[in-house]
Amino acid sequence: MSEQEYVPFFANVQLSPTAEGDDRPPLPTTGSEREILTAFLDWHRATFELKCRGVAAARLSDRAIPPSGLSLHGLVRHLAGIERWWIRQHFAGEDLPMLNYSDEDPDQGFDRLDGDVEAAFAAWRVERNRARTIVAEAPSLDATCRSPVTGKEISLRYILVNLIAEYARHNGHADLLRERIDGATGL
């Protein structure tokens, strides 16, 4: 087979599905590194929100896949904390308390589902929006910070890739949770 005849399996895959209610913008296939990384991160953020859309508030706390304790409510609490941890606390150096985490109870974001679900989504949106602003204002993806945990220098590029991976992993969890809750798939 010549190189010209080879067609990769993903050649005809649409990068941004257009299912009913899917308001995610299409992913760019060209652009600067910052444009590509931030677009993919925003796409994954929007994917998570889409997977939760239409679920009754009471069902968002369902731990639908035993023995796992994961729930959509717990995931949104965790993702709010992750946004704060990586962008605001690490990269921007903001002196803020951890969200839904302590050394004594590191899984509280997933385990403690007290509180209003809408408040959890509001907190996540605040963290997401603040993270977007910080990233947009950074001089370059080469800008660095020092990890308070490891002491290693890390770049904004590394943080963005890490966040994309975090969202991709949890979007897979959200897929399974949503399907178990109401049968919705392919969001």
For 121-175, how does the pLDDT look when each residue is reduced to its tens digit (9 = 90+)?
999 999 999 999 999 999 999 999 998 888 999 999 999 999 999 999 999 999 9
Q: Which pLDDT score, from 0 to 100, does residue 100 have?
A: 85
Domains identified in the chain and CATH numbers: 33-53+68-182 (1.20.120.450)
Q: In terms of C-beta density within 10 A (0-12 exposed, 13-18 middle, 19 or more buried), how is residue 131 classed?
A: buried
Collapse the DSSP code of 18 into the 3-class scheme (helix H, G, I; strand E, B; otherwise coil) and give the result. Answer: coil
Per-residue model confidence as pLDDT tens digits over 67-103: 888 999 999 999 999 999 999 999 999 999 999 888 8
Tens-place pLDDT, residues 42-71: 999 999 999 999 999 999 999 988 888 899
Cβ contact 174:49 at 8 Å: no
Sequence-ordered list of residues with C-beta below 8 angstroms from that of 122, at least 6 positions apart, any chain: none
Q: Is the separation of the CB atoms in 25 and 18 below 8 Å?
A: no
State how far the Cα of 74 lies from the Cα of 96, in Å rounded to an integer. 21
Q: Measuring CA to CA, which residue among 118, 86, 117, 122 is closest to residue 101?
A: 86
Residue 10's pLDDT band (cuts 50, 70, 90): very low
- At 187, the pLDDT band (50, 70, 90 cuts) reads low
Residue 100 CA to residue 46 CA, distance in Å, equals 22
Indicate the pTM of the whole model: 0.86
Contacts of 112-118 spanning 24+ positions with Cβ under 8 A: 113/61, 113/71, 113/73, 113/74, 117/57, 117/60, 117/61, 117/73, 117/76, 118/57
